[in-house]
Structure 1
């Protein structure tokens, strides 16, 4: 609105009013619009729900954080107990009842902005807001958490299945194979000696004499006693079980032993997560919903389970447990069989969470019906496609076939590629040669860069760009406190580098005492202020000659900047190969 007003004033050669007048008008209109938005959401929320969301800002007795902060904090550990806590969190958020509030008049972009403000603001800041302005961000935050908690729970389920259960069971299965190799080697050596005696015995057709079984056993026992041979055969049968060609049998057997990890959260998973499915995933969802009833029973018959999902080595583990009576199903093996199908279907999106976003139905975001009919001509024109896909699919099929033929023709002469066990194996890429002039150029650039501390650089940039003027108080007023810029830079530095307030506090500097950064962080550090401060940065950067040569300065890189990441998170962990922690993505404040 402000840009359009300025363009109109310039085009019509209007000298008065000046730029400050439309700026004030735009600010006033935006304030009126925000007031109407807050009032609309306040009126739409019932009194009981309004009381519940405000109570989230309170800190319970003997607790250190508010209920809102607890609900905002996602799972950090990968375990069965953490999975139950994540599902309880999702159920608690949904139990608030915010999803029943009708806010059809409010645009989705505005509720997203309010939710972002509620998720990033501290509880004391939200608590000081006027009740009408307080209800709107809290309601939008709970709306967002209804979806986020479901996604967090399924993220944790994926991590639990992939790292703690499936991968660990496979590693334990491999370890068991390695431990059994010495016994297997000794047993195989004895069996090989017995078979060698049989092979050395001449056939009856060559000598004209028949060799009795007694004589054959006498020859074998001179090499390997019968008792040792029987023990060797038993060892081979135990170490190399009959798996019907299924390589997953051994690690699946190890997986069943960890049934206690998943038994506690399976009923909660079915209760809390509303799962939907396409046609391929419907049997998995149907079976999963009936699983809690089977887990609670003492014995389960083979006719009561979905035998279509029990395939491969699972059939022996589920239906042929030697410790159970004939016809009784192993509930632990059956539960893991269903969870493995669920994990695979979730990854393929054959199964999805109706209340989720990342794990939701991808078809929901597609245009359909009248909306697609209205947008179809523009979309097809922009993509250069026809309304009927047959021609385009035929073209893609032809190109794919040509690519296959080209690759297959080049396989015999390609020394960097080979096929091992039915899979393509590519040779490792060699080190790229560095240009001859690169080392002296790098040394020259390094010598030209000034050596300056990051806080000093941030203060200098803030003074040059006037960045601090963009940070207004939560009430809408500007800052009149003395030394506001150093306090703001201290907050930016602590948030961007994840170092906390302690390193930036200086008791002998009034602007950096412990109370000042905390006050600035609660009253001025908001997402909209950070977005507004990016404008002066971009404008100042565009005036630098070298930036214009690089393409306008609209792309930034944060490579080489190290950020501390908590170890107990779902998205960070030790790299098993290099034993280092991945660095976090830069925050908006950086």
Structure 2
């Protein structure tokens, strides 16, 4: 059996390796006065240096010279430099084993430490489960063991011992978690859990496979199917609190394993592990089925109103000729009446002779019909699909437990009324039925003296849809439709986060600081604007006019870019992935879902990634590949490809690219941009995605990507093509896994709202969108707008300081919740936007955002460099989009996957391959720059700034994928393209 490792090579280097770079040496090995006194007590030069080296190693990694292995020369030199001895003296010291041992004992005694013993193994094995309670990460477990040893003042044993005890501790933690999760199960429940893995002849699959298959197309029958599965899952009577004593990360790990494992594989597990996975999976399935049913109901209800509006628009458009004719008739009527009044004639006689009374009377019915059509509420037409609603609505009401904050909430009363009517078979809605929906619907639903059930029930579910979206109404044991407050951390938990962000504890302090700055900026802006001192900005006829940003790329930069591009060597994408993996180690981030080990078949791993990136799919990738089979690809994708492994691998590439010297010519990694890229759906009908008129009539999805100023695409997420991009801006800024410290971020108009301005500022980001409607946006002030008379045409409403003051505490709780990752920013922003009446927290954020947007607008107007910087940042995103289109070409670039998870895999694979290309191009561009400079050609950094590592003409994306040949290429740099020949991609 193959040896199982706890740590990978990078983990071992970080935990047990001796660093060589100067900053790390300074952090770990700078001696204090007490250290120097100990060292100076040695008699000879070699002994002093050897003693100092051992003393340094005991501090980090934590064991003596005997376990350290080969030491980097820079380390010995750094230690020697501090004590004034030659580094060469260490050679003689290392030969004296007795002196080495004696010094090790003296150091441990002086530092109050002791050597590890066999008796410490139990301490280490027990420390392992504590660290492993929340994670399977070998690095975290080993760190927990090391911290425990250091806390007990024990020197570290050999790394292999720590790894073995870590593996034992992890196994023990898994057993404890499993036993905790299944402790309350009865024998009957255990038997039913095992029956989940036995094929059901009626369904043709196991009950578990049937329950896990969640339909995505919005159909009434699919909602019923989801509710049927929910009832089945609940029939196991698993205690909802069974997972409350398990760390959420551990629970998610069990769920991921259960979702990815076949019944055959689960059946081979030990009973306690199998039952624990199934319990976790059922708990998760209940929440997922509730969410899926509500989301599908949401889409069906929303779709009914969308179709109603479109039908109304079509019908009204069809009356265009009639409207024109009737308007001419109306104009003739007005003219006749006007002439009669001017000439003091009988208006009826003039009207009859000029227009014709009979003609007017014949048009009366047409005018009435068109007026009714134009003013018809979409509820009336949406109610035409009431029969579809009735196919799933009664079951939804019966199974789901809806809650609201207020006792006696009218929405819940209306739902209970419908529930009672369904149970009793009563058809007539009582006259005193609660009407929580919009007041303009009241008259519609009771137009003829009694309540129309079709209109009433349709209106109630449309209202419920909005309430669920906002969190005003929630469902017990749901994941996405929880109570609004449940997404926020407590005020106590928020306090340290607020302090870390250096935010004022009170609104008064924030308003005073921001108000003073805003007042000064507005006055300075008017002073400069009125004197024509703003570059490219002027006020004409009460409206701002801003000169467009012009591209400022020197001709010399284009020449250098062309020469660099010509020098890049030709390569296949298979070769690029292998080279980048060798240099960055990103393949190690793809760990086995069950064992945590890295993938041993890199060819299959890279092929699975490329299958996502190119949209080719596993079967076609296997057909086009040499060196991998379809079975290998399916197994690899199942075991290693997950959203979190994609994210970790991308972070490795981005961090490695950030460390390249050439990356600094494009930026320092502190600014970025984000934008969506539309991909058409490969499906038709329901479930094919949303239609965005901006991209035509085809449905599809948007891959929303964040790109750093160094061209690294550090985050991507799939969103609906019809949704607003703004909620997802902060998702990428807060939830990426790379080490980039983004300080300034750019978007276009689609990514900008006042809420994003507010949260970016409070979270420490400078938000700089390129606003298409900039001149039409109003400036805001905390003081009276009348204080800025010269800016009167540009000023909007005064900031409502009272709203900010009243809800400052909730604002801080929201900011802390986002910062700590308790909830995604997009989730909260969408909920705030879904309130039917403006939520007060939403309003407070909007007012804060107006302040921050005004300060940004003043920056934009006063700083041409900011405008150019934003323009350049967004252009880098456009370059990335062009490369994405070149890679994702199979199936005409249409995404055929229905599930969001599969779509996210496509986006993540594409983003990872783009990041690998950017890294690979950057390394060879650095070689090309070095070549030019070595030959006396001028290639200054200020010109290289205008180049880009996002080219792809020299990389072949199609043809046969020769994985074995790519893997067999020798390590090291390939030659630049001096011959000028380029293989076409």
**Deviation at residue 254 of structure 1 after TM alignment:** 2.3
Counterpart contact for 2:233–2:286, Cα < 8 Å: yes
Aligned CA RMSD, in angstroms, stands at: 4.8
Of 433, 439, 453 in structure 2, the residue corresponding to residue 311 of structure 1 is: 439
Q: What secondary structure does 1:355 align onto?
A: coil
1:490 aligns with 2:632: no
Structure 2 counterpart of 1:423? none
**Deviation at residue 275 of structure 1 after TM alignment:** 2.2
Distance 1:391 1:239 in 2: 55
Structure 2 counterpart of 1:361? 483
Distance 1:280 1:570 in 2: 37
Distance 2:599 2:464 in 1: 58
Q: How do 1:294-333 residues align onto structure 2 when only pairs under 5 Å count?
A: 294=421, 296-301=425-430, 303-307=431-435, 309=437, 311-312=439-440, 314-320=441-447, 326-333=448-455
Distance 1:528 1:157 in 2: 29
Of 15, 26, 33 in structure 1, the residue corresponding to residue 66 of structure 2 is: 15
Q: What secondary structure does 1:129 align onto?
A: coil
Distance 2:460 2:498 in 1: 42
Counterpart contact for 1:506–1:512, Cα < 8 Å: no
Counterpart contact for 2:587–2:599, Cα < 8 Å: no
1:575 aligns with 2:692: yes
Scaled by the length of structure 1, what TM-score is found? 0.75
Structure 1 counterpart of 2:169? 29
Distance 2:186 2:547 in 1: 63
Counterpart contact for 2:305–2:381, Cα < 8 Å: no
1:172 aligns with 2:311: yes
Distance 2:449 2:360 in 1: 34
Counterpart contact for 2:257–2:593, Cα < 8 Å: no
Quick one: structure 1 residues 185 and 25, their matched pair in 2 at CA, closer, same or farther if it must change by over 3 Å? same
Distance 2:202 2:426 in 1: 40
CA displacement 1:300-326 (0-9 Å, x = unmatched): 34x2322464512x2342122xxxxx4
CA displacement 1:469-493 (0-9 Å, x = unmatched): 7877777597999xx3333433444
Which one is further off, 62-71 or 358-367? Answer: 62-71
Of 97, 109, 127 in structure 1, the residue corresponding to residue 249 of structure 2 is: 109
Distance 1:398 1:188 in 2: 54
Quick one: structure 1 residues 451 and 122, their matched pair in 2 at CA, closer, same or farther if it must change by over 3 Å? farther
Counterpart contact for 1:470–1:529, Cα < 8 Å: yes
Q: What secondary structure does 1:102 align onto?
A: helix
Quick one: structure 1 residues 565 and 188, their matched pair in 2 at CA, closer, same or farther if it must change by over 3 Å? closer
Q: What secondary structure does 1:287 align onto?
A: helix
Q: How do 1:254-333 residues align onto structure 2 when only pairs under 5 Å count?
A: 254-279=381-406, 282-294=409-421, 296-301=425-430, 303-307=431-435, 309=437, 311-312=439-440, 314-320=441-447, 326-333=448-455
Distance 2:681 2:630 in 1: 24
Which one is further off, 548-557 or 189-198? Answer: 548-557
Of 162, 179, 191 in structure 2, the residue corresponding to residue 39 of structure 1 is: 179
Q: How do 1:44-443 residues align onto structure 2 when only pairs under 5 Å count?
A: 44-61=184-201, 66-100=206-240, 102-162=242-302, 164-201=303-340, 211=346, 217=348, 219-241=350-372, 249-279=376-406, 282-294=409-421, 296-301=425-430, 303-307=431-435, 309=437, 311-312=439-440, 314-320=441-447, 326-368=448-490, 372-373=491-492, 375=493, 378-379=496-497, 381-384=499-502, 389=506, 391-392=508-509, 395=512, 433=551, 435-437=553-555, 439-440=558-559, 442-443=561-562
Quick one: structure 1 residues 456 and 392, their matched pair in 2 at CA, closer, same or farther if it must change by over 3 Å? same
CA displacement 1:264-319 (0-9 Å, x = unmatched): 22222322332222349932232233224457533334x2322464512x234212
Counterpart contact for 2:218–2:300, Cα < 8 Å: yes
**Deviation at residue 138 of structure 1 after TM alignment:** 2.3
**Deviation at residue 60 of structure 1 after TM alignment:** 3.8
Structure 1 counterpart of 2:725? none
**Deviation at residue 363 of structure 1 after TM alignment:** 0.9
Structure 1: give runs of 5+ residues left out of the alignment: 321-325, 419-425
Q: How do 1:440-479 residues align onto structure 2 when only pairs under 5 Å count?
A: 440=559, 442-462=561-581, 476=595
Q: What secondary structure does 1:10 align onto?
A: coil
Distance 1:429 1:359 in 2: 46
Distance 2:445 2:382 in 1: 13
Distance 2:484 2:439 in 1: 29
CA displacement 1:108-135 (0-9 Å, x = unmatched): 2211222223234444443433322222
CA displacement 1:13-38 (0-9 Å, x = unmatched): 25345332222222222122122222
Counterpart contact for 1:266–1:292, Cα < 8 Å: no
Counterpart contact for 1:281–1:351, Cα < 8 Å: no
Distance 1:248 1:101 in 2: 52
Distance 1:429 1:152 in 2: 49
Q: How do 1:514-533 residues align onto structure 2 when only pairs under 5 Å count?
A: 514-521=630-637
Number of residue pairs the alignment of both structures matches: 552
Counterpart contact for 2:411–2:436, Cα < 8 Å: no
**Deviation at residue 81 of structure 1 after TM alignment:** 3.5
Counterpart contact for 1:78–1:160, Cα < 8 Å: yes
